[in-house]
Structure 1
Amino acid sequence: MKVKVFLHGYFAKFHPGPIEVNASTVAEAVALVTRQLPGFRPNAVRGRHRITVAGCEKIENLYRPAVGGEVHLIPQFAGGKSGGFLQILLGVALIAVGWFAGIGFLLQAGALIFLGGISQLLMPAPDAEDNEKKSRYLGAPKNTVEIGTRIPILYGEDLVGGHFLSFDTDAIVTG
């Protein structure tokens, strides 16, 4: 089925006008467009482009046919938490009070709080889940890796920790 893909925001610079592709799902249309256009290649500084597909709030919607035969790609806003707004307002207030009162310390403190709020907005939010598996049974610093990771071979003399090739113990308590 023919699908028209519209690029919005700074993506519009990558190709003029809509792009027509033959795709059965929204995900297939997005993959076809992003792999063909050189503007979607990963950047060495920013990494990959973050894309929002209009009308696809859930992942399941990406694997359905395009509604009305149209897909709209919008750049996704990246940033951290909303807590930076309060910090920015506090910084601006301290700068204003310091300016009118003639207190240099308040100007400096306000500027630092303001810049901290801006940097907090620009930082990505940390993941809630810690993907690193930690064991309570292994003490002291040692080199441990997941199953399937390549094992380097060292030549000469080097001081490295141990490497567990197989250590997976689960204790199930039933009561």
Structure 2
Amino acid sequence: MLRKIKLYGELAKEIGHKEFEDINVSNVAQAVSFLIHNFPKIEAHMATRYYKVIVNEEEIGEDELFDPVGKSDISFVPVIEGSGGLGKTLFGFTMIGLAFMTGGSTLALGLGGFTGGVGISALVGNIGLGLTLMGVSEMLFPVPKPPEFTSEEDPRISFMFSGIQQTSRAGTPVPIVYGEIFTGSVVISGGIDTEQVQA
């Protein structure tokens, strides 16, 4: 069935088109295969980025790449890394690897039978190896989480008087400002001695 493939952001700039009309694909994996085979340089671009794939105004997950999309258009929206809440964001490697699962077998026939099939299987194997190594590196070196200040053991929390405001702890970034600026101070140390208070 013929449908539109819509591209956004850097992906559209890299390819040079925002929209392809009347493309004969029936699922997302075939749409990725279409992009890779018609624009060979886009494979390296897609492999290192995250995308939201939207069909019929719903995000598509990895398990839905081969599901038929009916009459709906397919949209690829790049997602900024570290933006959080990625939802059903698909990693480019995953989409490329899954696209070759179907496209590789038919592509091998056009490349000269067995020799082409071996080349495609080696490519898919290398992509799978890359995914595996990436997963292992994420397990060994997880992304550090920012500290939570809700703990009762936080040394900055004090119930004497109103507590000291704007205290900083080790590891807090220090801003560098050029020019005049109105801001609160950073208290390094503070305390009250009862002998100094006059009644």
TM-score of the superposition, structure 2-length normalised? 0.37
